[in-house]
């Protein structure tokens, strides 16, 4: 486990490492370099090749990390698999079940799962993983970066039996227009950060906040992003918007 600077979580639980690019939101995936770095460190300080722009195709399970949440007694929010996609098509269901069983046992924690693979999410939560969909300590989320790829993910999530559903609208790449927030419990919005970050316009953000307010959905503004995210900060209209999901109301 490791601490995370992600504002909406506390610790990351990277049980699975590796992924492949899937949609425009993946273009500047930070996880590629992180996984390369971990692999080099594990191999006696091998230098990380520069630049690292794509995945190797290797996806691996780290069984030694399976018990991490069970060993932590303090109730904590965990971002599950920040260096992979829990619903990647190459991940065997046994790995997913192993992780979900730990989440079921460690019911004093909250687990935040996020995917771009809405078809797999929909198939598995309506099928082989259905028994986990209703757990009160798992938040099932989809990433939404644009209209073409992102909006169908919201519909796919809505039509699963997930008890707690959330959206990570990051990196926001265009105006999303009207979005259907029915059955959605929490929305996070943010811009891309890093040396090749794509810009996010303020006029794309306000309509999302307004739609959340109208629908009674908590809205969390994560960051403006850009090449210097410390400088751009995370104020919207001069204040932070850190509405968190009152999980006990949903659960
Ligand atoms: S799904 Fe996530 S981890 Fe996988 S390539 Fe895309 S951004 Fe990276």
User: Mind listing the pLDDT tens digit for each residue in 10-48?
Assistant: 999 999 999 999 999 999 999 998 888 877 777 666 676
146-193 residue pLDDT tens: 999 999 999 999 999 999 999 999 999 999 999 999 999 999 999 999
Residue pair 98/66 in contact (Cβ under 8 Å)? The answer is yes
CA dist., res. 49 & res. 52, Å (int): 6
CA distances 130 to 31, 96, 105, 134, Å, are 28, 12, 17, 8
- 212 C-alpha to center of ligand 1: Å? 26
What is the tens place of the pLDDT at every residue in 90-145?
999 999 999 999 999 999 999 999 999 999 999 999 999 999 999 999 999 999 99
Where residue 250 falls among pLDDT bands split at 50, 70, 90? low
Query: Ligand 1: which of 24, 31, 114 to mutate, judged by most atoms within 8 Å of the beta carbon?
Result: 31
Supply the residue whose CA is at minimum distance from atom 7 of ligand 1. 26
Mean per-residue pLDDT over the chain, rounded:
93
Name the pTM for this structure. Answer: 0.94
Query: Using CA atoms, how far apart are residues 56 and 82, in angstroms rounded to an integer?
Result: 17
Query: What residue's CA is closest to ligand 1, atom 4?
Result: 19
Cα(32) to ligand 1 centroid in Å equals 8
Residue 19 DSSP SS3: coil
Once rounded to an integer, what is the mean pLDDT over residues 36-63? 80
CA of 249 to the centre of ligand 1 (A): 31
Structural domains in the chain, CATH included, are: 2-15+64-250 (3.20.20)
pLDDT band at 53 (very low <50, low <70, confident <90, very high): confident
What spacing in Å lies between the alpha carbon of 139 and ligand 1's midpoint?
18
What is the number of residues in the chain? 251
Average pLDDT over residues 61-68: 96
What pLDDT is attached to residue 1?
66
Look at residue 49 in the predicted model and tell me its pLDDT: 67
> What's the pLDDT at 41?
72
Residue whose Cα lies nearest atom 8 of ligand 1: it is 29
Contact residues of ligand 1, CB 6 A cut-off: 19, 21-22, 25-26, 29, 31, 84-85, 116
Per-residue pLDDT of 200-224, as tens digits, reads 999 999 999 999 999 999 999 999 9
The pLDDT value given to residue 244:
75
Probe target for ligand 1 pocket from 14, 20, 29, with the most ligand atoms within 8 Å of CB: 29
């Amino acid at each position: 486990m490791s601490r995370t600077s992600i504002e909406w979580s506390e610790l990351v639980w990277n049980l699975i490492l590796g992924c492949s690019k899937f949609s425009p939101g993946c273009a500047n995936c930070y996880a590629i370099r992180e996984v390369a770095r971990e692999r080099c460190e594990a191999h006696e300080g091998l230098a990380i090749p520069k630049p690292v722009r794509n995945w190797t195709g290797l996806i691996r399970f780290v069984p030694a990390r399976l018990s991490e949440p069970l060993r932590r007694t303090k109730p904590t929010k965990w971002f599950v698999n920040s260096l992979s996609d829990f619903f990647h098509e190459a991940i065997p269901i046994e790995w997913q079940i192993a992780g979900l069983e730990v989440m079921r046992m460690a019911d004093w924690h909250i687990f935040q799962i996020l995917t771009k693979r809405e078809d797999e999410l929909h198939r598995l939560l309506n099928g082989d993983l259905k028994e986990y969909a209703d757990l009160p300590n798992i938040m099932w989320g989809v990433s939404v970066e644009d209209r073409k790829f992102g909006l169908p993910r919201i519909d796919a999530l809505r039509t699963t039996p997930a008890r707690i559903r959330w959206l990570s609208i990051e990196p926001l790449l265009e105006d999303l227009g009207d979005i259907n927030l029915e059955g959605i419990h929490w929305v996070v919005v943010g811009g891309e950060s890093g040396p090749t970050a794509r810009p996010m316009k303020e006029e794309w953000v306000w309509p999302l906040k307004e739609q959340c307010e109208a629908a009674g959905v908590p809205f969390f503004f994560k960051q403006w992003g850009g090449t210097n995210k410390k400088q751009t900060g995370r104020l919207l209209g001069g204040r932070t918007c850190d509405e968190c999901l009152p999980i006990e109301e949903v659960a």
